[in-house]
């Protein structure tokens, strides 16, 4: 079979070659882009100069930390060296002092001798003073014995003693339920008579009467019983003491009070009041606060 002849107008088509060339170029571009992106991710978008500077910065930080450690160690060593130097200086000074003492031992002996003589003189003077005090004590003892003998001479004989003062109830007497407590008023003092088994004396000044624990204990206990009566026995010079003591009992504790003038200076005989005398417990120990006054009873208004 005969072959067909190409016509003179037939042309060679280059389209497949161009397609292959374009595809190759595209693949190369893709590879370049991928490499650039990968490189930028590894360096986080930094240039090589920046990476180098960062590495140098890390190295510098590490070196600074090492230097700080070395500086701390050096400071410790210097402190220890300073302490050693101080100990050395102290020992050298002590050595110098000991050396000086050894060199001047003769002078020290002389000084010690002078000090010993001075102390001996002071000891002798002290013994002399002690001896004088002993003699003075003996003289004082003799004077005391003479005064005691003179006092004994001046004692009033039993037959010449002032007779006791018998205290008698005034008026028509008092109710059987009455509890009487006696307070003697004399010059500048008050004396509670046997309210808790023994007498008790206090100064009759307002400050003492207000703060005295034992006296306020008597007033507080007497105020608990409406039948209580505090009878003030007034000596010739006891009016001021009565005003102070009775004022405290009546105004602050609302206690019923009475008063009896006592003539003379004899001892008080309260035998006629035996069945009326009130008794209370002993007062609290010294140093306790004075009891507060009981509130006054309210009066009903008509």
- Alpha-carbon distance values, 119 to 8, 41, 129 (Å): 157, 99, 15
Residue 169 has what pLDDT? 74
Please determine, for residue 301, whether its predicted confidence score (pLDDT) is greater than 50: no
Residue 242 has what pLDDT? 96
C-alpha–C-alpha distance, residues 238 and 240, integer Å: 6
Please determine, for residue 107, whether its predicted confidence score (pLDDT) is greater than 70: no
User: How would you class 249 by CB atoms within 10 Å of its CB: exposed for 0-12, middle for 13-18, buried for 19 or more?
Assistant: buried
Both tokens assigned to 141: 């003892």
pLDDT tens digits along 130-157? 777 777 777 777 777 777 776 666 665 6
Beta strands in 130-272 (DSSP E): 165-166, 179-186, 189-192, 200-203, 228-234, 257-261, 268-269
More confident residue, 240 or 144: 240
Residue 206 has what pLDDT? 93
**SS percent in the chain: helix, strand, coil, step 5:** 55, 10, 30
C-alpha–C-alpha distance, residues 284 and 214, integer Å: 7
| Listed residue (279, 276, 277, 271) closest to 167, CA to CA | 271
CA 38 to the chain's CA centroid: 78
Residue 285 has what pLDDT? 73
- Mean pLDDT, the chain, whole residue set: 78
pLDDT tens digits along 172-207? 567 888 999 999 999 889 999 999 989 999 999 999
More confident residue, 128 or 268: 268
262: Cβ contacts below 8 Å, ≥ 6 apart? 165, 167, 184, 233, 234, 235, 236, 268
Residue 201 has what pLDDT? 94
Please determine, for residue 297, whether its predicted confidence score (pLDDT) is greater than 70: no
Please determine, for residue 253, whether its predicted confidence score (pLDDT) is greater than 90: yes
């Amino acid at each position: 079979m005969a072959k067909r002849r190409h016509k003179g107008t037939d042309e060679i088509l280059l389209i497949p070659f161009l397609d292959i060339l374009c595809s190759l170029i595209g693949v190369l571009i893709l590879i370049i882009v991928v490499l650039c992106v990968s490189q930028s991710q590894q360096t986080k978008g930094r240039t090589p100069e920046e990476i180098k500077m960062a590495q140098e910065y890390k190295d510098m930080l590490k070196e600074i930390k090492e230097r700080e450690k070395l500086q701390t160690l050096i400071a410790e060593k210097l402190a220890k060296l300073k302490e050693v130097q101080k100990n050395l200086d102290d020992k050298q000074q002590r050595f110098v002092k000991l050396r000086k003492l050894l060199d001047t031992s003769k002078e020290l002996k002389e000084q010690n001798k002078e000090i010993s003589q001075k102390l001996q003189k002071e000891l002798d003077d002290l013994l002399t003073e002690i001896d004088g005090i002993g003699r003075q004590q003996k003289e004082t003892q003799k004077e005391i014995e003479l005064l005691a003998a003179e006092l004994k001479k001046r004692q009033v004989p039993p037959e010449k003693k002032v007779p006791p003062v018998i205290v008698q109830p005034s008026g028509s007497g008092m109710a059987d339920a009455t509890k009487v407590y006696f307070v003697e008023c004399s010059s500048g003092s008050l004396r509670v008579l046997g309210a808790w088994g023994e007498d008790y004396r206090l100064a009759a000044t307002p400050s003492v009467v207000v703060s005295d624990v034992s006296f306020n204990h008597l007033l507080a206990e007497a105020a608990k019983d409406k039948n209580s009566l505090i009878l003030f026995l007034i000596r010739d010079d006891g009016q001021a003491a009565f005003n102070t003591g009775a004022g405290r009992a009546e105004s602050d504790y609302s206690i019923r009070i009475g008063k009896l003038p006592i003539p003379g200076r004899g001892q008080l005989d309260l035998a006629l009041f035996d069945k009326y005398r009130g008794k209370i417990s002993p007062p609290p120990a010294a140093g306790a606060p004075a009891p507060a006054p009981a509130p006054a009873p309210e009066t009903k208004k008509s």
